[in-house]
Structure 1
Amino acid sequence: MVTKINGVIPMKILFLTSRWPVPPITGDRIRAFYLLRHLTQKHDVTLVSFYENFHEIKQLKSSQLNVRIRPVKFPAGLSLYARLGSGLFSKLPLQVHYYSTKKIKQVIHEELKSNSYDLIFVHLLRMANYVMDLASIPKIIDLTDAISLNYERLLQFSGFYQNRSFNKIYSLEKERVLNYEKNILRKFNRTLLISGVDKDYLQAHCTVDPMAVVQNGVNLDYFKYLPNGCDSDKIVFHGNMNYLPNVDAALYFYRDIFPLVKQKRPRAKFFMVGVRPKKQLQALEKYQDVFVTGRLNDLRPQLRSAALAVCPLRAGAGLQNKILEAMAIGTPVVTTSLGLEGIHARPGKHLEVADTPEAFAEKVVSFMNNPGKREEFSRQARQFVEENYTWEKALAPLDDILNEFE
C-alpha cells in the first residue's frame, strides 16, 4: 500500500517546460519555478527544459529545488530562423516551431523509454507537441493563459503599431493557436489555466472540458510589507518590457495618461522597470521625467520608493503578477478592468480601476496627492494578498487534481 504524503500519493513526474525556471524573473519562469517547488515537495520530479547559459543551471542547483534535471541548450542562430521559416508553411503555431528541436525530442524519448513515469506535466502549449499523441501515460498541461485570447485582444490595438505585417502574422497565429488549444483540450487529461476568464474563453470555443483554474501566488517573504516613505511624484510600471501587452500598456500610459497627470503634478516621474525593453520604450528615455531601467537584480526598491504602481493593460490574458507583487509590498495600484481579471480584489478598497485616460489619470493623481489614502490602500491590499494569494493557497487545488491520477 502506497503511503500518502500530506494527503497526496507520491508520483514519478516528467516536467517539461520551454525556458529554464531559474532565475524566476518573468511570468512564465515564475510560475514554472513555483509549480516545481510545489511538486517536488511530495513527488519525484525530472525537469526537461531548454537553458541559455550554464549560470542558469548553477542557479537552479543552489535554489533548493529537489529536482532531477535534463537540461538542453537552446539552439539559436541559423537553426532558429530555419525553424521559424518552416513554421510559416505549417498549421502549428509559430511558437511551437520556435521551441521544436531534435535534441530535446530525443531527451524526452530517452526519459520515457528508461523510466516508468506516472504522469507527464507540460508547462505551456509550446511544449505540448512532444507528447501530444502519447496516450499510455496521463498528461496534464498548464497553459497558464488562453494565448488565443491574448492575440485577439492585441489585434484590437494593432493599428497602434501601424504595421501590416504585424497584423497579418498575429491574425494567422491567433487562428493557429486557437485550433492548437482545442486540440490540446482533446488530447490531454487535464488542462490548467490561471483565471476563470481564460477558462471561459476556451470553453466557448471547445465542448471538451477537462479544464481547471490554478491561480498564481506571490512570495510574501520576498515581497515584504514595508510601507515606509516614498517619492510622492514617482509612478512605476514593472514587468517584462519585451512582452507586447506590456509594451502597449507603457506606451498608452506615456502618450495618453501621463500628460494628464503632469497637468496636475508637474514634477511627476514615470519609471518603466523590467527586462529587455523594446526600442519603442528605450526611445522614450530621451524625454524629461521618463526612465527605462532595463533588468534589475532587485525591483523591490523601485516599487517601495514609488507613490503607486500602474498597470494600464489594454491587451493580454491571464493574471498579472505585477499587481500582486505591488500589493504585497505595499505600493498602491491603479489598473484597468482587463488588468484586474483573475484577481478578486475590490476596486476602491484594495486598488483602483479605470478604463479611460482621464479616469486613470485622476486615480493616479489622487494617490499622489493623498498620503492617507496611499496608507489605507497599502494596508488593505497587503491583507488581501495574505488572505488569498500565497503560493501555498494558489497551488493547493493542484494536489486534488493530481490525486485523480493515483
Structure 2
Amino acid sequence: MPTQCLAILKRYLCNSQAQWRNHARRKSVLVFYPHNPFNPSHGSHLRCLQQLQDLSRDYDIILASSSKTSDSEWPAGNLQLAKVARKNTIRKIVIFEFGILGALDQYCSFIFRAFKRLIPLFPCEKIGERLHQAFFFAWFNWVSMRYQPCATVIHYTYWAYLSSSLAGGVTILELHDLLPVNHYLTRKIGNWLQASSSSECGIAVSPINYVDRLSQLPADVVLEIQEVVNQINRFDLVWMISHREKRLLEELGMTVKFEVIYPLMTSKALCQTRNNQAILPVGPNAFNTYSLQNFIKDVIPLLDSQALGAREIQVTGRFWGDQPTPMPHPLKYYGVVDDYAERLSRSAFMIAPTSVGTGQQIKIFEALASGTPVITYRCAVPADVLSANPSIIGVDTPGEFAEAIVQLWCDKQVLQRYWVMAAEAAERQAKRRSTFPYCCSLKKALAAYNAQKEGSAGGRFA
C-alpha cells in the first residue's frame, strides 16, 4: 500500500512539473474583449471565440473584460470565472468590476450621481467618464504588468487607449465592424423602415447598399472614420474581417500593418441526411430586418407557390427591436432555436438575402462549415470566397434569387451536385481552421517586432 501511494505521488509530481514547464515555455497574450463570448449569440462573439481558440493553441490567454459593458452576464465570483476559463482553455479571466479599482469606480459613480441630484448643472457625466477611463486604464496596466504578455489584443477602437499599457508587448487591434459606417447605415435603415411603413403615401425610398467608396458617405461620417484611422495607427498590427473596410481606411491614411482574417467556423453537427426545407437565419440587427423585408417584398412574389408545394423556408433568430414581420408562404418563423447547428446541417440549402451591412455575414461561413449550399447576393460575399466555393450561389437581382431557389428545390440532381460541392467546402474550411491563422499572424508580428527592437530599442516594426 505505501508503495502504491508513493507511485501515485510520484506521478502527480511528474505531471505537476510537466504542467509547470509547459506554462514556463508558453508566452502570455492579454486579450481585452468587452463582452462575455462564451454563450455566443451574434457574430462578434463567434469572432472572439475563433480568436481565443486559435491563440490558446500556442499561448496562455489572459482575458480581460467588464461586466458593465458586456451584452451578456459574466458569472459572479472567482470560482465560477475559473470554471469558465478551464472549460475554454483560458489561463485567467479578469473582470474590472470584480477588483479594487472597479469597486472604487462604482463608489465614485455613486457619489457623482448624488452630486447631480443636488447640483443639476454640475458636469458629472464628463468628469465621471474621465475618472472611469483613468480607473480602467490603471486596472488594465496592473493586469499587463502582472502577466507580462508578449502581445496585447484590443477589440474595437473605442478601447484603443488601452494599447498604451506599460507592459503590453506587441499591440494588436481586432477591428470588427467599421463602426461609423455601421451606425450611419443603421440610421438610414431606421429611416427606411419608418418610410416604408407609410409607403401608401407615395414616398419613394431608394435602396440601401454596401459602402465601397468614401464618396458614398456624408462628410461627418468621413470625419468619424478619420478619427478611427488615427486610433488604428497607434497599434502595431490590425486584424480585420473585410477587404472592403481595409480600402476605406487606406483612403484616409491607415499606415499600420494589417491582416484580413476571414471567419472560420466549426460545425457541431454534420448530418448525413438532408430534408427538403431551406433555412433563413436572421440576427438582431437592422441590416437583417431590412434585407428580410426586401426579400419578402421583392423575391417571394416571384416564387410559384404551387410548384413549391409543402416546402418551407425556416426563418430562425431574432429581429431588430423584436419587430413583428408577416411571414407569407413558404416562410415560417421559428424564432431562436436551440438546435440551430443541426437544423442548418439538415437543411437543403441556406438563403442569405442580406444586401447591406459591414464586416462579413458570419451565417455564410457557418453554412460553409456545415456543408450547406447558400444562395445570397453577390455583394455580400468577398469575391475570393465566392470563387473558391462554388456551393455559394451569388445572384445580383431578386429575379435571379427566386430562380436559384426554384432550381434547387425542383431539380434534385442539381441540388445533389451542390451538396457534394458544399461537403468539399466544409473540408476546406476545416483545413483552413487547422492552420491557426491568428497564431501565424501573431508569430510574424512578434518576429518583426523583436527584430525592430534589436535594431532600434523601443521602435515599432514596419
| TM-score exceeds 0.5 | yes
Is 1:257 matched with 2:299? yes
**Does residue 235 of structure 1 match 2:278?**
yes
Pairwise mapping of residues 292-303 of structure 1 onto structure 2 (< 5 A)?
292-303=333-344
2:379 aligns to what?
338
Q: How does 1:116-195 map to 2 (within 5 A)?
A: 116-131=148-163, 137-151=169-183, 159-162=191-194, 174-175=221-222, 177-195=224-242
Whether contact under 8 Å (1:326, 1:332) holds in the other structure is: yes
Change (3 A) 1:150 1:111: same
3-state DSSP of counterpart to 1:13: strand
Cα distance, 1:391 vs structure 2:
2.2
Per-residue displacement from partner, 1:46-97 (whole Å, max 9, x unpaired)? 111134334594773353313211024699xxx9xx9xxxxxxxxxxxxxx9
Q: Secondary structure at the match of 1:208?
A: coil
Tell me: higher relative CO, structure 1 or 2? Use CA pairs within 8 A at least 6 residues apart: 1
Following the alignment from structure 1 to structure 2, what is the Cα–Cα distance between the partners of residues 73 and 260? 54
* Residue among 64, 69, 85 paired with 1:48: 64
TM-score (norm 1): 0.77
CA drift at 1:355: 2.1
CA-CA distance at 1:379 after TM superposition: 1.6
Shift of 1:343: 5.3
CA apart distance, 1:157: 5.1
2:48 is matched by which residue type in structure 1? Answer: A
Q: Read off the aligned partner of 1:364 and give its amino acid letter.
A: I
| Alpha-carbon contact 1:149-1:317 (below 8 Å) kept | yes
2:41 to 18, 22, 25: 25
Report whether the alignment pairs 1:39 with 2:63.
no
CA deviation string 1:199-243 (max 9, x = no partner): 2221122252422212221215x242x351312xx332224x212
How far 1:277 moved relative to its partner?
5.3
CA distance in 1, matches of 2:391, 2:170: 40
Number of aligned residue pairs: 367
For the residue of structure 2 that corresponds to 1:70, the secondary structure is strand
Select which of 365, 383, 400 maps to 2:424. Answer: 383
Pick closer, same or farther for the CA change 1:219–1:25 going to 2, 3 Å: same
Q: 1:304 to 1:348 in 2, by over 3 A?
A: closer
Q: How many angstroms apart in 1 are the aligned matches of 2:356 and 2:54?
A: 30
Q: Which residue in the other structure is 2:314 paired with? A: 271
Q: Residue type matched to 1:214 in 2? A: I
Q: Which residue of 1 aligns with 2:287?
A: 245
**Secondary structure in 1 matching 2:449:** coil
Query: Is the 8 Å Cα contact of residues 288 and 354 (structure 2) preserved in structure 1?
Result: yes
Task: Mark the CA change 1:178 to 1:65 in structure 2 (over 3 Å): closer, same or farther.
Answer: same
Between the aligned residues of both structures, percent identity stands at 18
Distance across 2 between alignment mates of 1:305 and 1:343 = 27
Structure 1 position 122, deviation (Å): 0.8
CA contact (8 A) 1:230 1:305 kept: yes
Cα distance in 2 between the residues matched to 1:379 and 1:59: 41
CA distance in 2, matches of 1:20, 1:209: 28
Equivalent-residue separation in structure 2 for 1:343 and 1:236 (angstroms): 24
The structure that has the greater radius of gyration is 2
Task: Give 3-state SS (helix, strand or coil) of 2:363's partner.
Answer: helix
Where 2:299 maps in the other structure, the secondary structure is helix
* Structure 2 partner of 1:92: none
Q: CA deviation at 1:121?
A: 0.7
1:66 alignment counterpart: 90
Q: Given residue 246 of structure 1, which amino acid in structure 2 is its aligned partner?
A: N
Q: In structure 1, what residue type is equivalent to 2:375?
A: V
Could you tell me which residue of structure 2 aligns to residue 93 of structure 1? Answer: none
Shift of 1:377: 1.2
| SS of the residue 1:404 aligns to | helix
Q: 1:402 to 1:294 in 2, by over 3 A?
A: farther
CA pair 306-114 structure 1, distance change in 2 beyond 3 A: closer
CA distance in 2, matches of 1:53, 1:127: 20
Flag structure 1 segments of 5+ consecutive residues without an equivalent: 83-96
The residue type paired with residue 39 of structure 1 is: L
Query: Once superposed, what is the RMSD of the aligned Cα atoms?
Result: 3.6
Provide, for residues 129-152 of structure 1, a one-character-per-residue CA deviation record: whole Å limited to 9, x for no partner. 433687974310011333344456
Separation in structure 2 between the aligned mates of residue 284 and residue 62 of structure 1, nearest angstrom: 44
Question: What's 2:447 paired with?
Answer: 403
Q: State whether residues 19 and 50 of structure 1, in contact with CA within 8 Å, keep that contact through their aligned partners in structure 2.
A: yes
Residue 113 of structure 1 and its aligned partner are, at CA, apart by 4.6
Q: Aligned partners of 2:338, 2:83: CA distance in 1, in Å?
A: 14
Partner of 1:317: 358
CA contact (8 A) 1:197 1:342 kept: no
Task: State the 1:342 CA deviation.
Answer: 6.2
Question: In the TM superposition, what is the alpha-carbon distance from 1:111 to its structure 2 partner?
Answer: 1.3
Retained in 2: the 8 A contact 1:274–1:294?
yes
Does the 8 Å CA contact 1:122/1:142 hold for their aligned counterparts? Answer: yes
Question: What is the letter of the counterpart of residue 230 of structure 1?
Answer: N
Partner of 1:87: none
Match of 1:357 in 2: 398
SS in structure 1 of the partner of residue 338 of structure 2: coil
Match of 2:411 in 1: 370
Find the counterpart in structure 2 of residue 215 from structure 1. 262
Structure 2, unmatched stretches of 5+, are: 1-20, 103-108, 114-128, 197-207, 209-216, 451-462
Q: Per the alignment, do residues 135 and 199 of structure 1 end up closer, same or farther by CA in structure 2, a change over 3 Å counting?
A: farther
Is the contact between residue 352 and residue 374 of structure 2 (CA under 8 Å) also seen in structure 1? yes
SS of match in other structure, 1:131: helix
Q: Which one has the bigger helix percentage?
A: 2
The superposition leaves residues 255-289 of structure 1 with CA deviations (integer Å, 9 ceiling, x where unpaired) of 22122224452544332212565333x3325x555
